[in-house]
Amino acid sequence: MELTIDRIWDAETIEALVPHWVFSDGSLREPFLQEVLHTILTNPDSIQILVARDEDGKLIGSTTSRNPGRYFPFVELSQAWIGYPDYPHLGDRFLSEIIVWAKGLRKKYIRARTMRDTDALYRKYRFKTIASVVKLNLVDDDLFDKVQRRSLNGRLLRTGC
């Protein structure tokens, strides 16, 4: 089965990728799309969106990688999707393209955050854990009250509000 991988910039194809993007919070898809489209318009060299198509032109996978800036030693693999198991080496081909792009930018490594199984990334590609991502929900008022009390050594803060 023949496939092609291309770097893209067109909004129509990018919008077709949105349902395949994975976030811990599904409401982040639209802001991420807007950020990607804005980046393509204002600084297209700082983003690499690759799409794979089969011989009929059907989308079968994609990656989105970003260069956070010249002072950062990495590119960030923000999204990756392979939708069809008929192409077992598609991940290798995508990673090869990202590596070539990152080396061209003189980067030292590729960084990725994932909601998926990290064991496969460790085994297959030798990614290493460098940090954990944690989240503090800011709508938990009870937690805010507890933190305020602790910060004042048990004394209540009077703000005058």
Q: 143 lies in a domain?
A: no
Query: How many domains does one find in the chain?
Result: 1
Residue 152 lies in a domain: no
pLDDT for residue 161: 47
Interatomic CA distance for residues 159 and 161, integer angstroms: 5
| Residue range of the domain that includes 122 | 3-133
User: Quick check: is 150 in a domain?
Assistant: no
The percentage of the chain sitting over the pLDDT mark of 70, rounded to a whole number, equals 80
Q: What is the CA radius of gyration of the chain?
A: 20
For 34-52, write each residue's pLDDT tens digit.
Answer: 999 999 999 999 999 999 9
Q: What is the pLDDT of residues 76-87, one digit of tens each?
A: 999 999 988 788
What's the whole-number mean pLDDT along residues 138-143? 69
Strands (E), 31-92: 47-54, 59-66, 74-82
In whole angstroms, give the CA distance from residue 19 to residue 159: 45
Evaluate whether residue 144 is within a structural domain.
no
Higher pLDDT, 8 or 125: 8
Strands (E), the chain: 3-7, 47-54, 59-66, 74-82, 109-112
pLDDT surpassing 70 at residue 23: yes
Whichever domain contains 40, its CATH number is 3.40.630.30
CA distances from 20 to 26, 49, 82, 94, 135 (A): 11, 13, 9, 16, 23
Is residue 139, in this structure, part of any structural domain at all?
no
